[in-house]
Structure 1
Amino acid sequence: MRTSPAPQRDPSRRAASAATVREGVGSAHAKAILLGEHSAVFGAPAIVLPVHELTARARLTIPDPAGEPDGSRLRCALYDGPVRSAPEGTAPVVLGWQYAAERVGLQDAGGRLSITSDIPIRRGLGSSAAVSAALVDAVADAAGRDLALDDRMQLIADAEALAHGRASGIDAAAVLAQAPIRVERGTPTTLPLGSGQMHFVIADTGVAGMTATAVGGVQELHRTRPAYVDTLVGRLAALTDEAAAALAAD
């Protein structure tokens, strides 16, 4: 009796298959705006402190190990499932993911994006910006791209704009900063400090807020009373400069 040899798998095909699995990781920290939160939207300076104790982390695996039919799955605190069924609350993450993927050449690659975060949401601590920064870095890492700081900030700012409408650029700079910064018109500079021995205490009131709503309210006020708002913005800018000088002098 003649027997046919058992089919052999081509080792090169196995290696090629394994090589197509890519993984990228990213992380970013929280922030606290000391002065200038809303006036910065109109070009005034703001002082921002990095909060390294609170972080957001992202991991992108391509292809999705769960083998979703559409190739995309999101896992986060709000949702765990196919992107096609993701609730409206995850839209900033999904849109930011898609936008970043297009920018680094991973459009239509799909995959599984897992996000974890210690940063309380709706507290003004930059939760969405930190998540955006983490996912931008994870997508770039999966694509094998080493983005320059300016490119990272721009991608994060664009993702933030999807979440909040008009963004000042503060959060995009702050969640990447390693030291207190002064931000004006989206451009950050390291803030000179005195001894560096000051302590800041951040207390959570337990009251949630919405950045988009707050920013929208200020913009509406500026539309109806521009001179009044411009005067306030000027006063806030002066206070911010005074605060910067006070920090430098301890």
Structure 2
Amino acid sequence: MNNKKISITTHGKVILIGEHSVVYGKDALALPIKGLNIITTIEKSPTAESIMITNHYQGPYLQSPSEYDGLKYVFNTLNSLAKNSEPLQVTYTGEIPMERGLGSSAVVALGTTKALNNYFNLMLPEEKIMEITNHAEMINHGKASGLDAATVNSDYVVFFNKKIGPHPISKKLGATLLIMDTGELGNTKRAVKLVRDKIESNPNEAKKIERLGVLATKTKDLWGKQDVSAIGQIFNEAEEILASFGIATKRIEEISKIAQVNGALGTKLSGGGLGGIVIALCNDKYTAEKIAQKAKDNFSNYWIEEI
């Protein structure tokens, strides 16, 4: 095993609709982003202890900062299953911005689980790999629906419900999605708590969660009909609800306004909120590029996906 080296590539995601409400058992749709990925590489450690190498931290794996607690759980779990005492080096290359709603924590949790599974020849079934990944997400976010883990493990748009699990949708919508990174760190754990506190203190807030679930179900049905305009209107309504929870920042709102006046069919934040990303549904790539140029002073990066 001394010279063994295993690398696994996993990709990011964006939630199209259903953030927050999916935690309460409602429907959601999410899109894998193949152009955003991280490579997890496992090999023997050159030192007497296991080490982690990322763009932000290089040092002992189990002494890494608290934001890596989910990964420490994965690392300990797989080493325990393999009865391994050999020190390892785990290197993460590539870049998915953290705390933006792009699935970075799920990506590295899944990549680490799969890479260690291969390195140790454990041959874990898919269900076990996803169980470990989802538990890491629970550690990271306090309450995780399983949507992120399912989407970073999929090649297709994922329709998701906690009761029935993930279902891939291979049909294309026939539209273009512009994804804009506000550059503001989101905080999923804080956003989820903020929404939960509002729901528990006001029955009308709970009705909004029900409505978000209805909108996600409608989006799935309209996707099959390739009704891009109607889905754009749903995005706008969902954004109004999410903003009413207090999780849309001024920058998110400003980007949305610019997108709306420059041809977007619908815009919304994606992910936990309090920062992160804004998505704009467009008829074509030309419109997406136009919006990106108009809004460029308000975001740090952008990606365009044909969906």
Task: Give CA-to-partner distance per residue, 1:119-164, whole Å, 9 cap, x none.
Answer: 1111101011001111111110111133332222111101111111
What is the deviation of 1:229? 3.6
Which residue, out of 142, 162, 166, partners 2:143?
A: 166
For the pair 1:179 / 2:156, whether they are aligned, the reply is: yes
- Aligned residue runs from structure 1 range 156-235, under 5 A: 156-185=133-162, 187-191=165-169, 193=171, 196-225=173-202, 227-235=203-211
Tell me the secondary structure at the aligned position of residue 58 of structure 1. strand
d(CA) in 2 for partners of 1:212, 1:84? 22
Q: Which runs of 4+ in 1 moved over 6 A?
A: none
Maintained 8 Å contact 1:98/1:107: no
**Cα 1:175–1:84 shift into 2, 3 Å:** closer
Q: Which residue of 1 aligns with 2:86?
A: 109
Tell me the secondary structure at the aligned position of residue 155 of structure 1. helix
Task: Give CA-to-partner distance per residue, 1:60-115, whole Å, 9 cap, x none.
Answer: 113x1x123xx21111112112235433333332233223333x324543311111
d(CA) in 2 for partners of 1:107, 1:221? 46
**Cα 1:199–1:30 shift into 2, 3 Å:** same
Maintained 8 Å contact 2:82/2:122: no
For the pair 1:148 / 2:125, whether they are aligned, the reply is: yes
Which residue, out of 73, 77, 93, partners 1:95?
A: 73
Tell me the secondary structure at the aligned position of residue 181 of structure 2. coil
d(CA) in 2 for partners of 1:143, 1:169? 25
Task: Give CA-to-partner distance per residue, 1:157-188, whole Å, 9 cap, x none.
Answer: 01111111111101110100110010000600
Compute the TM-score of the two structures, normalised by the length of structure 2.
0.68
Q: RMSD over aligned Cα, in angstroms? A: 1.9
Compute the TM-score of the two structures, normalised by the length of structure 1.
0.83
For the pair 1:56 / 2:38, whether they are aligned, the reply is: yes
Task: Give CA-to-partner distance per residue, 1:28-71, whole Å, 9 cap, x none.
Answer: 11001011010000000100011011001111113x1x123xx2
Tell me the secondary structure at the aligned position of residue 201 of structure 1. strand
Maintained 8 Å contact 2:17/2:30: yes
Q: Among all aligned residue pairs of Structure 1 and Structure 2, give the percentage whose two residues are the same amino acid.
A: 25
Larger Rg: 1
For the pair 1:30 / 2:12, whether they are aligned, the reply is: yes
Task: Give CA-to-partner distance per residue, 1:207-233, whole Å, 9 cap, x none.
Answer: 2101111112122223323x3343112
d(CA) in 2 for partners of 1:97, 1:158? 12
Equivalent residue letter for 2:47: G
For the pair 1:81 / 2:59, whether they are aligned, the reply is: yes
Unmatched segments (≥5 aa) in structure 1? 1-18
Maintained 8 Å contact 2:47/2:87: no
Maintained 8 Å contact 1:179/1:191: yes
Maintained 8 Å contact 1:25/1:139: no
Unmatched segments (≥5 aa) in structure 2? 227-307
Q: Which residue of 1 aligns with 2:299?
A: none
Q: Which residue of 1 aligns with 2:251?
A: none
d(CA) in 2 for partners of 1:35, 1:139? 32
Q: Larger RCO: Structure 1 or Structure 2 (Cα < 8 Å, ≥ 6 residues apart)? A: 1
For the pair 1:126 / 2:103, whether they are aligned, the reply is: yes
